[in-house]
Chain A
Amino acid sequence: MSELLIDNISMRFDLPGGGHVQALKDVNLKLKTGELMSVLGPSGCGKTTLLNIVAGFLAPSEGDIVLNGHKVEGPDAERGMVFQQGALFEWMSVRDNVSFGPRMTGKSRADYTPTVDHLLEVVGLQDFKEKAVYELSGGMQQRVALARCLANDPDVILMDEPLGALDALTREKMQSLVLDLWKDTGKTIILITHSVEEALLLGERLLVMAPRPGRVHKEYNLPFADLGVGNDLREVKKHEDYSTTREEILEMIWNMEEEIMGRAEESA
């Protein structure tokens, strides 16, 4: 059984004037293959740092990331990443963006062309293959980013607020797309978001992180992601547990923010 192990991760950033910031402290998590975990937390709780460590862009001060039994030692195609926006390559067409991964890893054109065409169809961009990415809307660009990530067939997909820059309607459509892709591909997904609703809808597991130092505050196991697959997400939102959980989490994060403000005032 393959899995992603986040083993006792701590991250300290040294400040130029001496001293340091404890971005993460003793984070332990285990994700089974095919799990979809959303991560919530106030600004500065280390969500993105954690994701960058899993992706291999940052080396943790302490602890290890272990994927399928081997230690992570840098970025690799086995861990795909979807960014908020601006990570597409404007000088390439939609098709070339999607086929970037396979091309870089030396696959032959005959190998990757069917995959790329299939993925473009899955994300609904089959008619935009030859378009330049800057000609697409924000939602379409994120579809390209999803397809590009999937083209490499990674074991884990890391999403750093992938829908954060989209308008509410596009966002809802994209949430359904993410759920469908998750179910179809069976990938392990970690999704960072600022939106409590999005975290509830997309997170099979939902992780609430607390700041200073960044740490796991509470974890939920939720039924909404499974309910949402292939269904209208607005129906899911009518579920009775949905609003109670949402209120609970909002309250939790609200208190954390208050605490941060209080501490800032004390030290001022």
Chain B
Amino acid sequence: MIGLLLIFLYAAAFFGTFVIASRLFKKLFESRGFNKLKTVTFGDESAVIANRLASVVSVLTVFWLWVAFTNSSIPLPKMPGPFIGDTSFTYTATLEDGTTDEATITVRVFREDIQLTLDDDGNAGVAPDVPEVEPGDGFAKNDSTTIARYGFKVINVWTNDEVSKKDGSLVTALNGIPVEPGDKIRTDAGEIGLTDKGTPTFSPATGFRMARLYLPAPEIVVERFFRLNSEGYQGYSLFQHTRYSLQRVLIGFLLGALVGIPIGYAMGLTNWSRGWFDPIVEFMRPIPPLALIPLIIIWFGIDEEGKVVLLFLAALWIMIIAARSGVSGVAISKVHAAYSLGASKTQILTKVIVPNSLPEIFTGARVAMGVCWGTVVAAELVAANVGLGKMIVSASKFQQTDVIIVGIIVIGVIGFLIEVGMRKLESWLVPWKGRV
């Protein structure tokens, strides 16, 4: 239900902001002259240039939806929230002889995350006391109880009654409406009903917002981000978790490149090497690195060594194949030209074949870095002492959803930065790529 609403709102935001933005910023949407006729051809990314305004609005929309569907304190339009505060409903007890009596149940609904909410002095909140109520007259007495938001409670109303359930006191109506066991009645504050055995139940209305366990509000995640930096998580600060993960990726990738590129060159240059390494490379390449984790743990344990070996293996095949195709891809006319200009075999290797293979190697390096980053997080999920993957898997065991989300965001941002960095490095080192 919430999911459908979310999709609907997201689609509405997409089209709505487009209509608004295209009215407000006409210039950004104008296509000049024949460009109007431009169509996207396959493989031609340049045909459509991203509208950066749309990117900004897109990110803001996700942020707004996050606020709208959580119990955030950020003042933005929000979905109807869950019920909080005191509410009451009546029940009618009927004895075997037909005598009836009505009593009131007062329920105090409190924040489900009260223990996680700190006051200004840093003290955690506590669940409120049960509200005091007059017992009232008749054999059925008034009751009171407390319940956390998003909760569900079975209320044993007979504890203070003069006639117990065992002695024949049955609840026959709620809020004056006759009910059978198993029935439910919706009220403004939530849902009241009877269990199959006839005991009154109450669950407060949840509105359209998600409980903190499922999705903490943005400010909680931001606060957690800073606390993870200052206090750390399981003995390591967020920075250290990140650094360990990154360090593993860099060492593993560099080792993979250091070994893979020469092997790839050898495969591209001599038939013996090609024959020798071909079966190994073709066999190992399709195996996802994650499938190797169990074996790696058995062989190397869960410390740094195992992670580095895993990432080395993740990067190795990609780099071998990139270097191999870089060498094989050299146009024969370039080699011929170099020969007839008087170059020796060694000169052709260093001055023609190696530079010619750089664009391919860079493409491989970009892919390998991405794969390594994904693999290190997954490897840490399985077994590690420290690292971003370790942090989020531990947090999931303690239901610290905010820590998980901080971890996911950091993983995403770093993955993105790696890609951007590799692209920058590429356009700096091999500017001729894709232009010949």
Contacts and interface: CB of A to CB of B under 8 A. Distances in A.
A242 interface: no
Q: What's the dominant secondary structure at chain A's contact region?
A: loop
B343 interface: yes
B338 A104 contact: yes
Contact of B341 (A52, A104, A132, A158): A104
Contact of A80 (B341, B351, B430): B341
B436 interface: yes
B435 interface: yes
A86 B337 CA distance: 10
A79 B340 contact: yes
A100 B342 CA distance: 9
A87 interface: yes
Contact of A132 (B333, B339, B351, B431): B431
Interface string B137-163: 000000000000000000000000000
B283 to A, nearest CB: 27
A57 B340 CA distance: 9
A152 B338 CA distance: 11
Most buried by B among A74, A79, A88, A100: A100
A81 B352 CA distance: 16
Given A90-B432, A132-B432, A134-B436, A101 B342 contact: yes
A77 B342 contact: yes
B46 interface: no
A91 B435 CA distance: 11
A34 interface: no
A91 B433 CA distance: 9
Interface string B341-378: 11110010001100110100000000000000000000
Contact of A75 (B339, B351, B436): B339
A89 interface: yes
Given A86-B331, A89-B334, A57 B435 contact: no
Nearest to B344: A104
A81 B344 CA distance: 16
A148 interface: yes
Contacts, number: 76
Given A89-B355, A104-B351, A77 B432 contact: no
Q: What's the dominant secondary structure at chain B's contact region?
A: helix
20 contacts: A75-B336, A75-B340, A76-B342, A81-B337, A83-B333, A87-B334, A88-B334, A88-B337, A89-B351, A89-B355, A89-B356, A91-B358, A91-B430, A104-B338, A104-B342, A105-B342, A132-B432, A134-B436, A152-B342, A158-B340
A57 B336 contact: yes
Interface in A82-101: 83-84, 86-91, 100-101
A55 interface: yes
A5 B432 CA distance: 41
Most buried by B among A84, A104, A134, A148: A104
A158 B336 CA distance: 12
A133 to B, nearest CB: 8
Interface string B392-436: 000000000000000000000000000000000000001110011
Given A52-B336, A81-B336, A91-B356, 8 more contacts: A56-B339, A75-B340, A79-B340, A80-B340, A91-B355, A104-B342, A104-B351, A152-B341
A56 B343 CA distance: 14
Contacts of A87: 331, 333-334, 336-337
A91 B340 contact: no
Given A91-B358, A104-B351, A86 B340 contact: no
Contact of A55 (B340, B431, B435): B340
B295 to A, nearest CB: 41
A139 to B, nearest CB: 16
Nearest to A75: B339
Interface string B274-293: 00000000000000000000
